[in-house]
Amino acid sequence: MAEEELKKATFAGGCFWCMVSPFDEEPGIHSVISGYTGGHTRNPTYREVCSETTGHLEAVQITYNPAVFPYEKLVELFWQQIDPTDPGGQFHDRGESYTTAIFYHDEEQKHIAELSKKRLEESGKFKEPIATKIREASVFYPAEEYHQDYHKKNPFHYKMYRKGSGREGFIKREWGVQK
């Protein structure tokens, strides 16, 4: 496949460990990288991002083939991984670095993300307002190697974390989705 046929999508959904596995085995997904974006510090470390001084959010950057897995489906899958009404983080992870956002890479992605958020707001699914921000993509810094594919390297700890954080129960309860 020619490189120009692939696109990037960037989502912040709280802990990036939990945002890789829902995407990485879908058809048309070429890679899912954990990292940091949206802040002001160059080449931040995990420790710096967790200190809440960099402005960065934990995020995943997905390289995908839109002809196989369109951006609309990526956005839909993203919503099903988060509590979009929580402005203070996700589940037991609190602070700006764990807040949610869709980072658009072009005007088409911006339009799709805004329309999807509006539909979710109007659906009445949640009583609270949708807190997830739609932001322009900026420099994405890959996280340290030990964070990449964490669900594969540490499957037991990953499953326990996902359940213990409250994410797994919320997704089942609110979205009716199991992964």
- Is residue 50 among the annotated active site residues? no
Q: SS3 helix, strand, coil % of the chain, rounded to 5?
A: 40, 20, 40
Taking the CB of residue 109, how many other CB atoms lie within 10 A of it?
Answer: 24
In DSSP notation, 30-65 reads EEEEEEEESSS-SS--HHHHHTT-S--EEEEEEEE-
Distance of CA 81 to CAs 38, 56, 68, 139, 162, Å? 20, 20, 21, 23, 11
Q: Annotated catalytic residue: which of 15, 18, 33, 60?
A: 15
Q: What is the CA radius of gyration of the chain?
A: 15
* Backbone angle region of 53, left / alpha / beta, with phi > 0 → left and psi within -120 to 50 → alpha: alpha
d(CA 24, CA 63): 10
Give the tokens for residue 33: 């990288």
Q: What are the catalytic residues?
A: 15
